[in-house]
Structure 1
């Protein structure tokens, strides 16, 4: 693989870690790269464009490695850190090439670092694989700025939506705060059939599970979490997700059989004076690993015929809704009507048991209107 893009994990992480800790089980890029064959998760640090380039990823490692693992049967490898490029374009190319290589092995690349432009490189890797994907962004703001300039935290979403060739089937945006988002941006998101949910709609937090389960790629911005729990932000924000909710969302993402990449972004290392934010990311990664370890090969890995099928007639002779329930995880999906065969991976849309119960009572759940609105 592209070893020229990578710097080994620093030597101080090669110490003898106590038994059962993640540091004792994670295979590190030291004298040689770990073998990706059979690995489930690959950790990769993304540099800042400054002298102390790897402070963020290494601070997260210092908090992650001492944690004790669960009853997991999976391999996690740490590929080290991307070498700082000459500019942001170099970093984008490096992220793209590494993501492509890791994805080809059926391994989940987990990128973590400063900045928020580089997830575009992960998206471009899917394009090289000619795979149409669903993406989920979690951020306090909706980054629909000018896409004519280089990608950054103000326009990442715009770049994802306009990048050619188009390989984005659907996009969900979670946890925005209304006072940070102009109405014109919300109107544009509506016209583009994006699924947008403000932070207040995500309570209780399990309501967000189906939205994350629908994603192939998840991008989680540090700014989505309130500053009391995640102080390493450009602007200290008193509101947002709690640390507990952040960890729950990462577990939902890990447990999804569809999700194949994760990006943790926008960590301002100079503001994490006592390492609190690094510990939050480390604990979030623990929950992500726990989710991946608990996967049960639900849809799209298992055909829908292996699920329990429930048909609900719509009121006023509007047709029917077909729901599926997994006997393995007890999760629910609703079938997309008249879904073209080339989008078979997206023919079932995740939903909740409450959506099924609402349909049974004679009301059409919001998930159905979202499917109809985006013209599937």
Structure 2
């Protein structure tokens, strides 16, 4: 694929400090750019036809870049490309198809797309890019709402299309940060019946670390900044008075970057037309991208659970022959649990979990996360 046919190169940002992140990002028109030797690729989207309300999202990508490039780089050797902004199609469906093709191409080259700009429904194109992989994947959405409306703009209805798409290659859909008064109760009931996992804003407030295993389960993440409270992200026509703080949004992105399975992320719904004079919301989104990048370059776990990098724990249940197996990484101290759903060695899955899941098992109860995983696998 000739990526130059799909993109308009990003405008040059002058006056960068020597230590600025932007100096470590190769541009699309850089002759030395070899996408196959890149780890991460920034993909800007300028199409705003997914919403009749938040129309200013077409300027999001360029404004985010202005903030992102000025942030300081870490000590790692970065292999990051900025492909610029995707050319809009004649129709919105054409834009979605182009984004799908680009994401599919990048992931086939082991490059993780970081999609900035546009509306949340672009996550559907992001998801469809996985169809050719022939593997079951887990999807994570971070949003104050569940976009399963029957009528309305594309960014309000796309989630139903994603969940019901045929052929079905989604192992799990999980949701973080929704607010009960913005979500139909029937929608949450439907998710529960499908053994999907969701953590509302109040549950995150009780213990934010509960978000980490949910993020670690995902192969792709779509972050709608409507999940961030208006005080920290005013540049959004759908902004809500309550929500995640900017710091918590960055924590989610750090978790996502650290997740070895995470192979694409998107951040949508930022509208610079509604931002303050300092473009503070752009600064929040740019910092979120920075945390994802840093998390990516701090990945530790190999997923080789039979190696000496992991400690194995077997929990027995009194009065039965039942046992549960847990693994703890010696490098990151993260936990996984083994879920068997057949008689063969291949019929098993290693599910991200928390220390609390392990302690629940030691007290004689099956963790809810194990029950849901069993329900999905059978």
- Say whether the fold is shared (TM-score over 0.5): yes
Structure 1 residue 65 corresponds to structure 2 residue 104? no
* Residue of 126, 131, 140 corresponding to 1:127: 131
The within-5 A match list for 1:109-258 is 109-146=113-150, 152-203=154-205, 204-258=207-261
* Residue of 333, 336, 341 corresponding to 1:338: 341
For residue 97 of structure 1, what is the aligned residue in structure 2? 101
Q: Secondary structure at the match of 2:244?
A: coil
Q: Secondary structure at the match of 1:44?
A: strand
- The answer to whether the 8 Å contact 1:243/1:280 transfers is yes
Q: Secondary structure at the match of 1:84?
A: coil
Aligned equivalents of 2:71 and 2:343: distance in 1? 45
CA deviations on 1:296-340 (whole Å, 9 max, x unpaired) are 2432xx344442110001344261110011122111000012258
- The answer to whether the 8 Å contact 2:20/2:73 transfers is yes
Aligned equivalents of 2:138 and 2:169: distance in 1? 9
Aligned equivalents of 2:130 and 2:268: distance in 1? 19
The root-mean-square deviation of aligned C-alpha atoms, in Å, is: 2.3
The within-5 A match list for 1:275-294 is 275-294=279-298
CA deviations on 1:30-65 (whole Å, 9 max, x unpaired) are 355831122111001011347987520010000000
Unaligned residue ranges in structure 2 (runs of 5+): 50-54
Q: CA deviation at 1:129?
A: 2.5
Q: CA deviation at 1:375?
A: 4.2
TM-score calculated relative to the size of structure 2: 0.91
Aligned residues: 369
Aligned equivalents of 2:187 and 2:100: distance in 1? 28
Aligned equivalents of 1:286 and 1:40: distance in 2? 14
For residue 361 of structure 1, what is the aligned residue in structure 2? 363
- The answer to whether the 8 Å contact 1:17/1:24 transfers is yes
For residue 261 of structure 1, what is the aligned residue in structure 2? 264
Q: Secondary structure at the match of 1:310?
A: strand
Aligned equivalents of 2:345 and 2:301: distance in 1? 21
For residue 309 of structure 1, what is the aligned residue in structure 2? 312
Aligned equivalents of 2:120 and 2:343: distance in 1? 34
Q: Secondary structure at the match of 1:131?
A: coil
Aligned equivalents of 1:156 and 1:34: distance in 2? 35
- The answer to whether the 8 Å contact 2:178/2:199 transfers is yes
Aligned equivalents of 1:342 and 1:57: distance in 2? 46
For residue 22 of structure 2, what is the aligned residue in structure 1? 23
